[in-house]
Amino acid sequence: MTIPPITAMTIPLQVVLIIASLVTLVYVVIKIRRAQFQIADAVFWVFFFLLMFTLGVFPRIGTFFSRMFGFEAAINFVLVSIVFVLLMKVFLQSFQISQLESKIRSLSQRIALDKHENEKQEKTINAGLQKNEVPAGENEQADEQENGK
């Protein structure tokens, strides 16, 4: 049984990988400098685009791994790798979103309970103040009685 030759990446594909990775890398760096991107997320994307750039500049890396994993064409390996990495990123972000939604729900409930407790305390304080208040007319009568005695 002979192993079929692996189709190497074409020059136009290499150029597309290089240009797309550089343009996107520059965009991510600009977003980081403007503080519009979290560093942890940016690190992932920088490494991802450096990997794409490396595969564009050194197509034999893609050919090597294509042979190793049994792909017929290097581009198939590159595309499957990209899809796999992005699916993993989506899965991790879904997990993070789920955790954040849980925290938001918990904080919303805590805020609602605190607000309810504050309202209850304010009613208690207001009720106590109203009991201790003496109507305006009674204060004058009490003063006159004390002064007259």
122 burial type by CB count under 10 A (0-12 exposed, 13-18 middle, 19+ buried)? exposed
The encoded tokens of residue 42 equal 């940016």
**pLDDT tens digit sequence for 96-137:** 999 999 999 999 999 999 999 999 998 888 887 777 765 555
**pLDDT tens digit sequence for 6-49:** 667 788 888 888 898 899 889 888 888 888 888 888 888 889 98
In angstroms, the CA 85 to CA 57 distance is 20
**pLDDT tens digit sequence for 65-97:** 999 999 888 888 888 999 999 999 999 999 999
CB 25 within 8 A of CB 46: yes
In angstroms, the CA 82 to CA 73 distance is 15
- Give the pLDDT band (50/70/90) at residue 138: low
Quote the pTM value.
0.65
